Amino acid sequence: MFTLFFVEDLPTTVGTEFEFDNDDANHAIRVLRTQVDEQFMLSDGNGAWSKVKATQIKKKSMTVQILESGFQEPLATKITVVQALPKGDRSKEAIELLTEAGVDRIVPWVASRSIGKTSDKFQITAREASKQSRRFRIPEVTGVATTSQICEAIALSDLAIVFHESAVTKLSDQISSHNVEHLLIIIGPEGGITDQELEAFTNAGAKVALMGRPIFRSAHAGLAAVSAVSALLKVW
């Protein structure tokens, strides 16, 4: 698998040369020790990609030749995850795991029992995790949403699922159709979703599901939820 880097102005004309000179280029040279003739991938983060070969290495930039170019279409199901913010570095970990799981949109939520704080670096975290997981599409990380805004999003989705330990219905019993264009998954905080929040979500149209017997950490629950739902919807 080729290493992936992102650029704003992606070169796509096969045979032409391009000056790769952003922070990713500096990382490729100084940390990864990229050599002449080495091949890797460039992407604009929105689905377009180019396979390139390094032809000249400088101190902080390199010249690359375009070998191949293409476009990765989005999946039929757009996945949005509402993630209650865990404390400390677990918020960053949650963003990384959701990115690696393939979600399209991450919505941080300060729930009643949240103890974590939002960060303007979450989008950077998603970008870096996209490189690591070889994603040509960087997920959007929105600003912090309120409970009422999440209820509005539930009403606009084709399927919204809240994972809660009090649920008596298994996830597999809450999915009756594979034709889901807009999927919304809601993950609560370590302290749990309050009865008032759960009632607001269900009144807006969300289904409540149990995620197996073990109780996941909030930062890890999103990855498990996306994996399970993606398999059930045949996204994977």
| Domain chopping of the chain, boundaries | 4-71, 78-232
Please tell me the predicted confidence (pLDDT) of residue 133.
94
Structure-block tokens of residue 162: 């809240």
User: HSE-up of 105 (CA within 13 Å, CB side)?
Assistant: 19
In a 10 Å sphere around its CB, with 0-12 CB exposed, 13-18 middle and 19+ buried, how is residue 10 labelled? middle
Give the integer Cα–Cα distance in Å for 212 and 23: 42
Structure-block tokens of residue 130: 């996209």
Structure-block tokens of residue 156: 């606009």
Which residues are within 8 A (CB) of 29 and not within 5 positions of it... i.e. 6 or more apart?
57, 58, 59, 60, 61, 62
Backbone Cα Rg of the chain: 20
Please tell me the predicted confidence (pLDDT) of residue 170.
84
Please tell me the predicted confidence (pLDDT) of residue 165.
82
Which residues are within 8 A (CB) of 98 and not within 5 positions of it... i.e. 6 or more apart?
81, 83, 106, 139, 222, 223, 226
Please tell me the predicted confidence (pLDDT) of residue 116.
67
Assign domain 78-232 to its CATH superfamily: SPOUT methyltransferase, trefoil knot domain (3.40.1280.10)
C-alpha dihedral, 231 to 116 to 6 to 77, nearest 10°: 30
Given a contact cutoff of 8 angstroms between Cβ atoms, the answer to whether 115 and 201 are in contact is: no
pTM for this predicted structure: 0.91
> Residue-wise pLDDT tens for the chain (236 aa)?
789 999 999 999 999 999 999 999 999 999 999 999 999 999 999 999 999 999 999 998 999 999 999 999 999 999 999 999 888 788 899 999 999 999 999 999 988 888 767 777 899 999 999 999 999 999 999 999 999 999 999 999 999 999 988 888 888 888 877 789 999 999 998 888 999 999 999 999 999 998 877 788 888 999 999 999 999 988 88
Q: Is 223 helix (H, G, I), strand (E, B) or coil?
A: helix
CATH fold match for the domains 4-71 and 78-232: no
In a 10 Å sphere around its CB, with 0-12 CB exposed, 13-18 middle and 19+ buried, how is residue 216 labelled? middle
CATH topology of domain 4-71: Ribosomal Protein L25; Chain P (2.40.240)
User: Measured in whole angstroms, how far is the alpha carbon of residue 57 from the centre of its chain?
Assistant: 32
